[in-house]
Amino acid sequence: MMQCKKIRELLQADYLDGQTSQPEVRFIQEHLKQCPGCSALEKRLQVQRRLFQGAKRQPVPEGVWSNIRQAVVTERLKQKEAATYGIFERLRDLIFVPRPAMILATSLFSGIIIFVFFANITIQRQVALNKQNAAESIAGYSLDGKKGYVLYDLGTGIEEYFL
């Protein structure tokens, strides 16, 4: 079936005009010997071709040719505009229209940045508080209720005995 489709395309396009290569001609002729449907199509196309070949050429008014040229030029301009418009539209869609994945990625990235910023502030506060607590602890150990500062006291009764 796929082969018949290709043969039919070749019959309608190039085969009858003699525009096919020798290997394609042999391939088509072999297929036409085996396939009655494609063979019937080839006969119908041959009849139509003979009818057109026998037809008398009529002169075409210049207005028709100018209309055809104008239509071709207009179509080409539309294609060029569509191509450039398509590029700009795609860029605009990529840049200006947010996509759900882009929104999710941006939100996630923003959340991570905010978390890191506030975590850093919290850690710095904790370090400062630990330094303050350490200084207060050292100051608390160095004060003695009887004599004032521990620096003048050696700290144990045994040391007092020997001194």
Phi, psi of 149 (to 5 degrees): -105, 145
Domain boundaries along the sequence of the chain:
1-58, 67-97, 101-163
The three-state secondary structure class of 156 is coil
pLDDT: which is higher, 26 or 138: 26
Instruction: Give the whole-angstrom CA distance, residue 93 versus residue 89.
Output: 6
Tell me the pTM: 0.37
Predicted confidence (pLDDT) per residue in 31-68, tens digit: 899 999 999 999 999 888 888 887 777 888 888 888 99
Query: Tokens 């100018």 — which residue?
Result: 66
